[in-house]
Amino acid sequence: MGTVNVKVLERHQKTFWEKSYIPEISRGLGVTVKQFFKNLSPNKEKRDTFTIQYPEAGTDHYAERFRGQHRLMKREDGQVRCVACMCCSTICPANCIHIEAAEHDDPSIEKYPKVFVIDELRCIVCGLCVEACPCDAIRMDTGTHMAPRTDRTTAFHQRDDLLKKGGISIATRAGQKALASKSS
Ligand code: SF4
Ligand code: SF4
């Protein structure tokens, strides 16, 4: 049997101050206190905070695909694009879209939504309604997030309010390339 070379390492013996942890705790607290006062600075540029007081406050830096509040798009003549097909309300997992269809005077359109209400408090912002819509009639690209509210009735967004946020869409159906205008 060969001999085994064992290297004996000398253990680092902690000093009294190291064992007490007082210097390290003080150093850590120093960093915390420094950041605390830095982030209280009235000059926002000097702060290191990257959080926002959501949902009370918003931000200008929404991602391009951010799903904000809904809007209903219009035809070129200003009429609502929605044809009350119920695809969005059927797919909505929160069951928060209520549509009442009515017959359109134009037989090529057939139906339009006499009533179109979204309960934004129940909405889970999944975007499935937008995906399901065959007419580019509903979008969530407003860049506006839902503000907190104390009155529940203000969460019901009616058709005409949704239309006010919407712009003209000239998207074409049947899988053709959508040429849709975007309005804020
Ligand atoms: S985003 Fe989702 S939950 Fe909200 S209305 Fe559309 S389908 Fe319903
Ligand atoms: S918004 Fe689109 S999916 Fe929903 S009812 Fe109107 S046309 Fe159909």
Percentages of the chain per state (helix, strand, coil), in multiples of 5: 25, 15, 60
pTM of the model: 0.70
C-alpha distances in Å from residue 132, one per residue of 48, 70, 88, 109, 138 = 41, 14, 6, 19, 9
Q: Is the shortest distance between the CB of 163 and ligand 1 below 6 Å? A: no
Would you state the structure tokens that stand for residue 46, as one six-digit string? 């000097």
Q: Is the shortest distance between the CB of 137 and ligand 2 below 6 Å? A: yes
In a domain, residue 184? The reply is: no
Closest CA to 181 of 81, 90, 85: 81
Q: Is the shortest distance between the CB of 155 and ligand 2 below 6 Å? A: no
- Host domain of residue 113: 71-165
Q: Is the shortest distance between the CB of 99 and ligand 1 below 6 Å? A: no
In a domain, residue 142? The reply is: yes
Q: What percent of the chain shows pLDDT beyond 70?
A: 92
Verify that 35 and 81 share a domain, yes or no: no
CATH number for the domain that contains residue 126: 3.30.70.3270
In this prediction, residues 166-180 reach a mean pLDDT of: 63
Q: What percent of the chain shows pLDDT beyond 90?
A: 54
Between CA 53 and CA 39 the distance in angstroms is 14
Verify that 160 and 89 share a domain, yes or no: yes
Verify that 27 and 98 share a domain, yes or no: no
In this prediction, residues 18-44 reach a mean pLDDT of: 93
Neighbours of 166 (CB within 10 A): 21
User: What does the pLDDT read at residue 179?
Assistant: 45
User: What does the pLDDT read at residue 30?
Assistant: 97
In a domain, residue 98? The reply is: yes
Verify that 75 and 153 share a domain, yes or no: yes
Residue 169 near residue 76, CB atoms below 8 Å: no
Verify that 29 and 87 share a domain, yes or no: no
Residue 42 pLDDT class (50, 70, 90 cuts): confident
Ligand 1 centre from 41 Cα, in Å?
A: 40
Q: Is the shortest distance between the CB of 97 and ligand 1 below 6 Å? A: yes
Residue 85 pLDDT class (50, 70, 90 cuts): very high
Q: To test ligand 1's pocket by mutation, which of 95, 99, 129 has the most ligand atoms within 8 angstroms of CB?
A: 129
Nearest atom in ligand 1 to 67's CA: 1
What is the Cα Rg of the chain in Å? 29
In this prediction, residues 96-121 reach a mean pLDDT of: 94
